[in-house]
Each structure stands twice: as structure tokens, then as C-alpha cells.
Amino acid sequence: MVGQIIDGKAIATKKKRELSQTVDGLKKEGVTPGLAVILVGNDPASQTYVRNKQKACVEIGMHSELIQYDETITEEFLLNTIAELNEDKNIHGILVQLPLPNHINPNKVIKSIDPRKDVDGFHPYNVGKLVIGEESFVPCTPLGIIEMLEEIGFDLTGKHAVVIGRSTIVGKPMGQLLLNKNATVTYCHSKTKDLPSITRQADLLISAIGQPYEITADYVKEGAVVIDVGMNRNEHGKLCGDVLFDEVKQKASYITPVPGGVGPMTITMLLANTVKAAKL
Ligand code: GUN
């Protein structure tokens, strides 16, 4: 079997067009959805992510503010900024780009964001709502992956989904969303023994390992849907995923590329969450 490519960029473009119309409608009612992005320090990858997020906001007519701080700022200073943004009527979504410098506790920072403005879906209030199956803000990468699966008409009921990675940003919420949609979910991580023997059972394999080309055809069942969350650099400095694309494509029914797969969907879901916050 040769897998079909899930074109994240095209799905994202379609979704952004819809969002742009919603933004126009909100503007007519006097509300311009606004996102504040806080970046602490000068990590090059974070700078790129933040730039792309801002560009996407402008593209669909949203208001976006970038707040950039030196890595030496105190935790208290950052908490004060967030307290001000929580009260700011022009800001509907607040995103603190992670990772933060070591002297700042990310959980404390996330907990200080008003859950109604938590467009990353990282606040314990929203995490809890996801677990009990209530409407909430859901982290953007897993939400984007669900949208892609819906786009290809993949019914999750009874399917075995294997998620590699257990981060708060991707792995854990991903598994929870899949479980809420009636999949049987297995989480794998760096301590998992004999990973390929588990991943070969997957109808849906989602990899968020962060290792270039780790997932070879040997890890994949014939006909599986393979979603690559990896954003790695290979030995030539080129952006690549966790999956050895050309090889795995020969076995999968559907597969996402890197770049042009999960990445564009993540940004689009951030826009969707901010529009949702503005509507609330
Ligand atoms: N760092 C890497 N991915 C993310 C994300 O989705 N949100 C935030 N806030 N930081 C990140």
C-alpha cells in the first residue's frame, strides 16, 4: 500500500479562510479577537514559532501583541504582566511560549493565566475539563491532529491508537482526546520496552518523540494512519519529522509530511482557540 499524504497546509488554509470570515463578523459587532504572545529569552526555535503565530494572526485580521523579555526577568515580573493581560479587554488569548528559563516555574506561570484566556489549553482547569469530557480549551497540536483525522473521515471508535510521547503539550492531551472519541489508547515513552512491538499494533500511530527518522517501516502496521509531530533538524540542518517518510509511506494508508503536516494545523488551532475565546 502507498499511503495518501494528509496535506496539513491545505487543511489549515481552508480552516483559516473560515476563521477569517468569523473574525470579520466579530469585528462588525465591535470585537477584534486579540492574542498576546509572551516570549522570554532568545531561543531561536521559539522565536521562529512565535513569529509564525503572529503572522497567522495578522493574516486572518486578528489583533496580536508580542511581548518580549530578556531571559533574566524575574518570575514575579512575568506574573505581573500576565495579571495585566488577564484584565485587558482587547486581549482574549494569552500564550506564554515554552520553554521558560530554568528560574521560572512554568506551572506557576500557566496557573496565573485566566482559564478563559488560556488558548494553549495548559491551565489545570482546562486540562481537568478535557479529562471529564467537558467543552474546554484544548492544546493546539492535538486539536489540529483531530481536525486532520476528521478531514480524512477516520472513525476512531474501537481503533487502537498508539501515542509516542507523554508531554503536557502533545502526548497526554492527545491520548485523552482519542479516548474521548472511543479509541483504545496506548501511551509509549522513553522508558517503554520494545517500542516497535507496540507500535506495530497501532491502527493510528502518533509520534511526538523529537528524534529524526526514528520511526521506520518496521514500527508500522500495513494500512496504519501515521501522524508525525516531530520538528527536528537532520544532520544537514534540514527540518524533518520523527518518521522516515519515504519508507513508511509505502506501508501506511495515510501519512503526514514534515514540513506541511501537523505544524500548520497547530498554528491554525491557536487562531481557532483565540476566536473561540473572543466569542465567549
Ligand atoms: N512550545 C512548543 N510548543 C508550544 C505550544 O504549543 N505552546 C506554547 N506556549 N509553547 C510551546
| Ligand 1, atom nearest to 95 Cα | 9
Ligand 1 centroid distance, CA of 89 (Å): 24
Asked if the structure places residue 41 within a domain, the reply is: yes
Of all protein residues, whose CA lies closest to atom 2 belonging to ligand 1?
Answer: 98
Place of cell 478535557: 130
273 lines ligand 1 (CB under 6 A): no
120 lines ligand 1 (CB under 6 A): yes
Q: 247 with 188, same domain?
A: yes
Check whether 1 has a pLDDT greater than 90: no
The 10s digit of each residue's pLDDT in 3-22 is 999 999 999 999 999 999 99
Of all protein residues, whose CA lies closest to atom 11 belonging to ligand 1?
Answer: 98
Q: 101 with 167, same domain?
A: no
Specify the amino acid at residue 105.
N
Asked if the structure places residue 14 within a domain, the reply is: no
Specify the amino acid at residue 241.
G
Specify the amino acid at residue 80.
N
Residue 97: active-site member: yes
Of all protein residues, whose CA lies closest to atom 8 belonging to ligand 1?
Answer: 97
Q: Give percent above pLDDT 70 in the chain.
A: 100
The 10s digit of each residue's pLDDT in 102-158 is 999 999 999 999 999 999 999 999 999 999 999 999 999 999 999 999 999 999 999
Give the Cα separation of 95 and 270 in Å (integer).
9
95 lines ligand 1 (CB under 6 A): yes
Asked if the structure places residue 84 within a domain, the reply is: yes
**Dihedral, 245, 247, 248, 249 alpha carbons, nearest 10:** 80
The 10s digit of each residue's pLDDT in 204-231 is 999 999 999 999 999 999 999 999 999 9
Asked if the structure places residue 191 within a domain, the reply is: yes
Q: Report yes or no: 84 and 67 within 8 Å, Cβ to Cβ.
A: no
Q: 107 with 152, same domain?
A: no
Burial of 166 (0-12, 13-18, 19+ CB in 10 A): middle
Q: 104 with 183, same domain?
A: no
Asked if the structure places residue 274 within a domain, the reply is: no
275 lines ligand 1 (CB under 6 A): no
| Ligand 1, atom nearest to 99 Cα | 1
Q: 206 with 253, same domain?
A: yes
Predicted pLDDT at 75 = 98
Q: Average per-residue pLDDT in the chain?
A: 97
Residue among 95, 267, 268, 274 to mutate when testing ligand 1 (max atoms within 8 A of CB) = 95
Number of domain units in the chain: 2
The 10s digit of each residue's pLDDT in 74-97 is 999 999 999 999 999 999 999 999
Q: 147 with 252, same domain?
A: yes
Asked if the structure places residue 150 within a domain, the reply is: yes
Give the Cα separation of 95 and 126 in Å (integer).
14
Asked if the structure places residue 120 within a domain, the reply is: no
Where residue 173 sits, what CATH number does that domain have? 3.40.50.720
36 lines ligand 1 (CB under 6 A): no
What is the domain extent for residue 252? 139-263
Q: 110 with 144, same domain?
A: no
Q: 152 with 237, same domain?
A: yes
Q: 81 with 148, same domain?
A: no
Q: 157 with 214, same domain?
A: yes
Ligand 1 centroid distance, CA of 97 (Å): 5
Q: Give percent above pLDDT 90 in the chain.
A: 99
Give the Cα separation of 142 and 148 in Å (integer).
10
pTM higher than 0.85 = yes
Give the Cα separation of 201 and 246 in Å (integer).
21
40 lines ligand 1 (CB under 6 A): no
Predicted pLDDT at 27 = 98
169 lines ligand 1 (CB under 6 A): yes
The 10s digit of each residue's pLDDT in 51-70 is 999 999 999 999 999 999 99
Distance from the Cα of residue 278 to its chain's centroid? 20
Q: 34 with 148, same domain?
A: no
Q: 65 with 151, same domain?
A: no
Asked if the structure places residue 5 within a domain, the reply is: no
Where residue 77 sits, what CATH number does that domain have? 3.40.50.10860
Nine cell digits for residue 156: 476512531
